[in-house]
């Protein structure tokens, strides 16, 4: 049995940066916390917790120490609250997310109503919604465009950085047919696009496709959906122990990819487990 790992799989630049910032904070005198999981990967969050970096859900849970703002970004209100509490701030917001925030603010100042193409409940989108505050809407499907009743024809469009290009194009196309003036910024991360492309290409060639990443990871779920469109035997797992013997029985080629929040050591462990299962099946 041959195992092929996608060319672009695992940690992206923004995630690496966030993890490095968190890892170095361990040596600070203050106790360190992250506001929400720093990335959407349970194993990485567990390792950071074991190193002394605790995850909290609200700034009211602490009165002092160092707070790390996760890779998805936070709203200005949260940033200001941390300052007022006298917390030391480490901003691990992905530079690509910061770029989307700046573009959205620029469009708002120019009088555009903002459309964010993405998942409304995702922390990255939430940070942009709260930043812009007024005249901002989130769309995750082209079907939602017809439900938009706006007193403007001027729309500024940005995307959640881990969106698929296909969904982005569909929604923009529908918006063009409903509104007169659009300023569209393709803010999908190049790393995310490369990951999607290499995963899709691999899924077409293999018998079974394994996608590794947190179940709460938006980009990993998208990779799974993309692969399933061309390979029905696509499975999303968080860790090696979830692999099942039946999935790979009698298969010649297995494909493996991973979301942007998945470290290389988990990918390696999954490959080892696949080899072990293959040996047992013989």
Cα dist from 200 to 197, 210, 230, whole Å: 5, 12, 8
Return the HEC string of 10-74.
Answer: CCCHHHHHHHHHHHHHCCCCCCEEEECCCCCCHHHHHHHHHCCCEEECCHHHCCCCEEEECCCCC
Cα dist from 270 to 3, 107, 203, whole Å: 10, 44, 17
Which one, of 114, 35, 113, 118, lies nearest residue 77 by Cα? Answer: 35
Q: Are 107 and 161 in contact (CB under 8 A)?
A: no
d(CA 23, CA 51): 8
Q: Indicate if 124 belongs to the active site.
A: yes
Q: Are 55 and 37 in contact (CB under 8 A)?
A: yes
Structure tokens at 85: 């509490």
d(CA 189, CA 13): 10
Question: 101: Cβ–Cβ under 8 A, 6 or more apart, which residues?
Answer: 73, 127, 128, 131
Catalytic pick among 50, 119, 121, 124: 124
d(CA 151, CA 167): 25
Q: In what order do the strands lie in the sheet with 136-139?
A: 136-139, 113-117, 154-159, 181-184
Structure tokens at 169: 């194009």
Catalytic residues: 124
């Amino acid at each position: 049995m041959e195992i092929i790992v996608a060319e672009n799989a695992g940690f992206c630049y923004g995630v690496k940066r966030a993890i490095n910032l968190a890892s170095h904070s361990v040596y600070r005198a203050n106790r360190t916390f992250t506001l929400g999981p720093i990335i959407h990967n349970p194993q990485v969050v567990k390792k950071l917790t074991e190193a002394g970096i605790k995850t909290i859900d609200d700034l009211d849970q602490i009165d002092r120490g160092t707070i790390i703002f996760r890779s998805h970004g936070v709203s200005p209100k949260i940033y200001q609250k941390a300052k007022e509490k006298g917390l030391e701030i480490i901003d691990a917001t992905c530079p690509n997310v910061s770029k989307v925030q700046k573009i959205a603010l620029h469009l708002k100042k120019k009088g555009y109503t903002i459309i964010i193409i993405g998942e409304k409940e995702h922390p990255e989108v939430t940070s942009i919604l709260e930043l812009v505050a007024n005249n901002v809407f989130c769309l995750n499907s082209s079907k939602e465009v017809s439900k938009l009743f706006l007193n403007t024809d001027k729309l500024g469009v940005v995307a959640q950085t881990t969106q698929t290009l296909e969904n982005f194009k569909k929604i923009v196309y529908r918006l063009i047919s409903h509104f007169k003036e659009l300023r569209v910024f393709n803010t999908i991360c190049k790393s995310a696009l490369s990951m999607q492309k290499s995963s899709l290409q691999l899924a077409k060639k293999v018998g079974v496709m394994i996608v590794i990443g947190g179940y709460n990871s938006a980009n990993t779920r998208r990779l799974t959906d993309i692969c399933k469109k061309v390979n029905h035997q696509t499975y999303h797992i968080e860790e090696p122990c979830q692999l099942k013997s039946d999935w790979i029985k009698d298969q010649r080629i297995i494909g493996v990819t991973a979301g942007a929040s998945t470290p290389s050591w988990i990918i390696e462990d999954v490959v080892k487990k696949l080899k072990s299962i293959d040996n047992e099946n013989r």
